[in-house]
Structure formats: C-alpha cells, structure tokens
Structure 1
C-alpha cells in the first residue's frame, strides 16, 4: 500500500509517496572497499521482511563500487539501488541524496562500515509501531578493530519514550 505523506518545506507542503511498512536503508559510501560487503551482508541478513537498500557512492576512488556491484550480482537483493555521484559532495550531501531517493514509510541510516544485529530493523519498527508518539529511535555502538572492542557507548543522549 502506498501512502502519501505531506511535509512542510520552505513554506510549501510537499507530498511524497511512501510505501507502507517499507524500511529504506540509506548508506552513504566513500572509499569503503574494506568493509562495504560485510555491511551489506548484515543488511541482507535482517529478519524484517520489507526493506530497500540505497547506497549512495560519494565518488569513491577505490574499488567500493565494483565490490557493491559484485555483491548485488551475487545476492540479488530485490530492492537495491546504487547511485554513483559524479563528484564528492561529502557525507551530508550523499546522505541527503539517499533520503530523497527513499520510498519507505521508515528510513534507517546505516554507515558503510556499520554491522547490524539481524533483528535491528525489526525491533526498531516494532518499537515505533507500538509507540506512535515516538518519531525516532537509535542504537548504541561498539567500535572494534579485528576482534578487540575499542569502545562501547550506550545511547544515553536519547531516551525511548520517557
């Protein structure tokens, strides 16, 4: 089911079509050849049944695009978009481009070096559905190198419905 959602932008109401319960996962990518395939594998393994992946390559100079294309040829993710920007516009520019390309009722931002638990998207959508007064959820993170955890930070900057 496609819903139309109205948004206020610069004094004008903009109406966008959003696909009910679809989660658009937006990945800004710049020179991520070392980890982009693992990132995409973790998204492929999500248990939530309705996702699209949007990778916005920010004019990478390494083999990121080749690796992304090989990954998609191998996995054949049904809702997959790779956009190659002609010049580097920075993280916020590539993220904003991906957000405009999103079709989902929900949007998840996923960095090119992120790995996500298989239930991440499912748990976040379930929380939002059960708490309609909440508009945004986040997660904590662990930074690691090889198998050593370098830093683990809980997300205490945002509370969940409190």
Structure 2
C-alpha cells in the first residue's frame, strides 16, 4: 500500500493585516487541500496574528498552526524557520500579500508526481493595492520536455533565480539540504533555487498560479543593502558549488560549467569582499557568466561604492 503524501504550506507574516484574509481564503479553497499550514509571524505590531487565529478558529482548521516570534528575526531567518517547522513530503511557499488560484497545489503536484523534481515553479500575475492585474515581464525560461513536463535547462546562468519563492514548491530532500547550507541573511528562494538548479531538478509550469501583489513596499532597499545582497549571493554560490562538487550527485556533463562558475565567483569575491580592483579586469574573461553586460559593469559600480564607504 502506497504511503499517502503529506503536503505542507510554509507561510510567513509581518504586519500583514491588510491583505492576509485574501490569502487565507485562497489557501482554504484549494481543490487539493494541504495537510498542514505552518504560519510563522515575525513579531508583528498590528493585528495579523489575531486575525489568523480568529480565522483558524472560525473554520476549525485544526491542521493550521500559527507561531509568533518573541522578537523580530528578519524575513530571511523567519522563512527558514517556517520551512524547518513543516513535516510534509512537499512544501509550498507562501507570501502574505498574494492570492493563490484554487488549482495551484493540484497542478504543482501533478508535475511532481510525473517527474523526479526537487522544485516546481510557475508564472504569476501581478496586482497592485487593488485586484486589477498589471502587465509584467518575467525572465525567459529555457526548458526541455521530459516526462511530459517542462524541465529547466542547465546552463552557465544556473545560479540566476528566474522565479520568486511565492511560486515555488519543493520536496523534502531539497528542504533538508537547504537547512544544512543556509546561513544568516540569505534569501530562502535564492538558495533553494541554486541547490535545485545545480542538481538539475527544477520543472516549470508556464501558466500563472497566483496573483502576486506588488506594492510600494516591495521596492528594493539601499545601496548598502544591495551590496550586502550581492556578497551573500556570492558566498552562497561558493558554498553550494563546493557542496555539489563534493557530493555523490555530480553530473559529469555539468562539471566544466560549475568549475568555471566557481572561478568567476572567486574573482567576484576578491572584488566585492576583499576589494581587489585587479579582479574586475580578470572578470572580463568570464563576462558570459553574467546575464548582461550591465551586471558586469554593476560589479565595478558596487566595488567603487563599497570602497568609498569602507
């Protein structure tokens, strides 16, 4: 007799009282219901937690659990905490402002069960403060058909995240590796993508599964924040590359690309963290590892800014 697969949702909240009911409604109305919903609140100062508790009580959602941190952990650590609390075979990631389409879990699970995917991602529609949808451009995904599903192709840009965490679902294997490799201030979706990508285990649904709410509060932060993000991304790539090359998962077809990416990352580390300008000149040889020429020039810009502020 086959074991019943357990499906989890990991949701984090912080001062999300304005839109949280819309998300909760969309989770509750899924055509394939989750077996558990884990909600971790990062010490909200508004009524978010009270709204969630009332919702759980109103609909007798005994498999929904909400936890409130005694102090603010920051969104990266908070999401990792939520993921760690899940017990499912498959984990769906949720953001507090979004609205899921009712067949999201069903469509993702159909893809998981047809393949050996560690991660499944989809497209999304964008909405603003209201419910009207906006046009948005998403990075193009190159894929190949495997087992009647779209498998994302491995290439030299494997570390570049092409879809956000709110349209990701992962299996428990990826979860365990992620929890072993995660480090402070690392965005959960970027690291999850990198691990799943380097192991060639991401599948793609080329239709929207949610309305992604984009508000003024979603804007990027300061230059200092951007530099910190770049540094953590470089460190994360170095860490994952090393883990993969020392694992029993290595695909010989990809080793050349990964080793070249490792050399590229080492030079970026020397430039942006050790502040060696000569490394930027040497990076010219690895320009193809950048998605665009603008990103290559961007590394020089961030070097100059961080050097000035050092």
Match of residue 238 from structure 2: none
Given the alignment, which residue of 101, 105, 118 partners 1:117? 101
Q: Which has the larger radius of gyration?
A: 2
Q: Structure 1, unaligned stretches of length 5 or more?
A: 4-19
Matching of residue 32 in structure 1 with residue 22 in structure 2: no
Matching of residue 59 in structure 1 with residue 43 in structure 2: yes
Q: Structure 2, unaligned stretches of length 5 or more?
A: 144-149, 153-310
Given the alignment, which residue of 129, 151, 160 partners 1:161? 151
> CA separation of 1:116/1:92 partners in 2, compared to 1, >3 Å: closer, same or farther?
same
Q: How does 1:122-161 map to 2 (within 5 A)?
A: 122-132=106-116, 134-145=117-128, 146-154=130-138, 156-157=140-141, 159=143, 160-161=150-151
**How much has 1:30 moved relative to structure 2?**
0.5
Q: Is the 8 A contact 1:21 1:50 kept in 2?
A: no
**How much has 1:151 moved relative to structure 2?**
3.7
Q: Give 1 or 2: higher helix fraction.
A: 2
> CA separation of 1:157/1:56 partners in 2, compared to 1, >3 Å: closer, same or farther?
farther
Root mean square deviation, CA, Å: 2.1
TM-score (ref. length: structure 2): 0.44
Q: Match of 1:139, SS?
A: strand
Given the alignment, which residue of 19, 22, 26 partners 1:42? 26
Single out whichever of 152-161 and 32-41 deviates more from structure 2: 152-161
Q: Is the 8 A contact 2:9 2:34 kept in 1?
A: no
The alignment covers a number of residue pairs equal to: 145
Q: Give 1 or 2: higher strand fraction.
A: 1
